[in-house]
Structure 1
C-alpha cells in the first residue's frame, strides 16, 4: 500500500491555487489540481496538474479509483454546477471524502441598486427595463442568451473570445482580473454604461465593478448561484480546507 495520500483538487479558481500552494511539498501528501480546460491560457497551480476534465461523473469515478484518491476538494467556480454534481456523484460511488471550498457570495451595501435574478435568461428578460448600454461580465459562454436583444448595446468582457451567437451591437474586451475600482470607473464612463450584468461569483478579484456601479448609480443585475448540495461539508476559506485535509491525513501546521 502506498504511503502517499492523494488529494484531487478540482480547481481553476484563486482559492484552488492558494490551497495547492499551501499543501505543496508536504511529506506523504500528493495534490493533483484538475483544470477543466475552458480557459485557453489558465493560471497554473503549483504541483501536479490534470487538464481537460474527466468525461462526466463516470469518468471522474474511474479516475478516483485508478489513482488511489483519498479525498476530493471541490474548489471550482461557484457556477460550475455540472462539475460539482459530478464530484458529488463520483465521491458517493467511491466512498471518497468530499469537501466543497466555496467563497462567500457578494453582499449588498448602502447605495447599491441590485436586481437579483434566478438565471441568465431572467437577466436577459429584465435588461430592456433597466438600461440601454450594458456591461456584461457573465462569461464568454453566456453571450448567446443575450443575442436577441438587438435594441441594446453591449460591452462584453471575458478572458477568451465568446462562443456562439452574440448580440448585434457588442464590443468584446478580453481581460483577466483582478480589476481596480479606478479602472472599472474609467471603463464604464468611457462606454456610458447604464446597467451592469454579473453573476454572484464572490471574491475580491472582480468586486471592483460593483464598487464602480455603486459610485456611478448604475443598476446591477446579479444572477444567483446554483443551489448547494445538502449533506456535503462546505468551508469558505483556504485555511479551513487545509485544516480539513490535515485532519484526514493526521498532519498539522
Structure 2
C-alpha cells in the first residue's frame, strides 16, 4: 500500500486527507505541529509533534517507507516547509508544497505591505490609535512597545509579552462580513493588521475594512523553497497520482 505523509494543520490539509482517505490504495498519515490546543483532526492516521528538524524528518520518511510528501502547512510556516523540502530531497522522496492563493487587493482597498511583523509594527503609529491585530498568537512581542490600543483575535490565548493596552478575543473562523463590520465598529478600530494567509476562513475582515474605509497592514508571505507546488486540493491529488505513476514506471 502506498504511504503518503501530509504535513497539515490547515483546511486544505484536512480536505486533502479526506480525499486520500477514501482511496483503498493509499495509507495517509497527517502530521500536526501541536500548536493549537484543540485542533480539527483530519481522517486517517494522525501524529502530533515535531520530527526533530531535517535529519529527524528524513529518517522518519525512510523508516516509514513514505512514497510521497505533501506539505500543506500554513503559508507562514516557512521553517517547516524549508525543513520538509530538504528532508524529502535527502530521503529521495517526492514532495509537493500545497499553498492556497494569496489575497490580492481590489478596488477600494487601502493596503500597506509589510515584509515582517516588525515592519508592520513600525507602520502603525502613523495610521491610527486602535488596532485590530489578527496575525496569530505568536510574534506579538513585536507590538509590545507600542502605546496603542489593540484588539487581538486568536484561536488560543496569545503568548506574552503583549502590548500594554490589549483586549484578547478568542475565536475561530470562518467569520461573516456583517459580524466583522460590527466588530470593527464596536471597538472603533482605525487599522487592521493581518498576515497574507489567503483563503476564505478569515477574509471577511478585508471586505469589512474596505466597506469602512480602513487601512489594512498586510504582512507578506515568506519565500517558498524550490519545489513543485499547487494551489488547490484537486491539483495536489493530480500531482500525487502523477508522482506515483512515475515511481511505478521507474520501478
TM range (shorter): over 0.9
Question: 1:229 and 1:100 mapped to 2: Cα distance?
Answer: 9
Alignment-derived partner of residue 11 in structure 2: 14
How far the C-alpha of 1:249 sits from its partner, in A, is: 3.2
What corresponds to 1:163 in structure 2?
159
Aligned counterparts, 1:205-244, within 5 A? 205-230=201-226, 232-244=227-239
Q: CA deviation at 1:62?
A: 1.3
Gaps of 5+ in 2: 246-251
Partner of 1:30: 27
Q: Residue deviations 1:12-41, cap 9 Å, x none?
A: 000000000011131221110010001000
Root mean square deviation, CA, Å: 0.8
Query: 2:170 and 2:145 mapped to 1: Cα distance?
Result: 22
Q: Secondary structure at the match of 1:41?
A: coil
* Distance of 2:132 and 2:54 partners within structure 1: 35
Say yes or no: does 1:83 pair with 2:80: yes
Which of 190, 200, 215 lines up with 2:196 in the alignment? 200
Partner of 1:72: 69
Could you say which residue in structure 2 is the equivalent of 1:99? 96
The number of residue pairs the alignment matches comes to 245
Unaligned runs of 5+ in 1: none
Which residue of the other structure, out of 136, 139, 146, is the alignment partner of 1:139? 136
